[in-house]
Amino acid sequence: MTPPWGKITAKTWQGLVGGAITESGVRNMKEYGYARVSTKEQNEHRQLIALAEFGICSEHIFMDKQSGKDFNRANYQELTRTVLQKGDALVVKSIDRLGRDYREILDEWKYLTRDVEADIVVLDMPLLDTRRTNDLTGKLIADIVLQILSYVAQSERENTLQRQAEGIRAAKARGVAFGRPRREVPPAFFPVYQQWKAKELDRAEAERRLGISKMKFYRLVWQVERAEGS
Amino acid identity, position 137: T
Residue 7: band (very low, low, confident or very high) from pLDDT cuts 50, 70, 90: low
pLDDT digits (tens, 9 = 90+) for 31-62: 999 999 988 778 889 999 999 999 999 899 99
pLDDT of 83 reads 95
What span, in angstroms and rounded, lies between the C-alpha atoms of 71 and 74? 9
**pTM (whole model) above 0.75:** no
Residue 90: band (very low, low, confident or very high) from pLDDT cuts 50, 70, 90: very high
Which position has the higher pLDDT, 2 or 176? 176
Q: Helices (DSSP H) in the chain: which residue ranges?
A: 10-17, 45-54, 74-78, 95-98, 102-110, 136-173, 189-197, 203-210, 214-228
Asked if residue 88 lies in contact with residue 51, where contact means CB atoms within 8 angstroms, the answer is no
pLDDT of 4 reads 42
Instruction: Report the chain's terminal Cα–Cα distance, integer Å.
Output: 53
From the list 222, 214, 230, 229, the residue with the least C-alpha distance to 185 is 222
Residues annotated catalytic, as ranges: 38
Q: Report how far apart, in Å, the C-alpha atoms of 24 and of each of 27, 38, 57, 75 are.
A: 9, 34, 11, 26
CATH 3.40.50.1390 residue ranges for the chain: 10-159
Which position has the higher pLDDT, 35 or 190? 35
Asked if residue 23 lies in contact with residue 75, where contact means CB atoms within 8 angstroms, the answer is no
Asked if residue 66 lies in contact with residue 120, where contact means CB atoms within 8 angstroms, the answer is no
Residue 21: band (very low, low, confident or very high) from pLDDT cuts 50, 70, 90: very low
pLDDT of 74 reads 94
Q: What are the respective helix, strand and coil percentages of the chain, to the nearest 5?
A: 55, 10, 35
Which of 21-35, 88-102, 131-145 holds the top average pLDDT? 88-102
- Class of residue 98 by CB neighbours under 10 A (exposed 0-12, middle 13-18, buried 19+): buried
DSSP 87: T
Assign domain 10-159 to its CATH superfamily.
Resolvase, N-terminal catalytic domain (3.40.50.1390)
From the list 59, 12, 60, 46, the residue with the least C-alpha distance to 123 is 46
Over range 57-68, report the average pLDDT: 91
Over range 105-111, report the average pLDDT: 88
What span, in angstroms and rounded, lies between the C-alpha atoms of 106 and 102? 7
Asked if residue 32 lies in contact with residue 89, where contact means CB atoms within 8 angstroms, the answer is yes
Which position has the higher pLDDT, 227 or 216? 216
Over range 17-35, report the average pLDDT: 64
**Pairing state between β 61-65 and 31-37:** parallel
Phi first, then psi, for residue 65 (nearest 5°) are -110, 85
Q: Please provide the size of the chain in residues.
A: 230
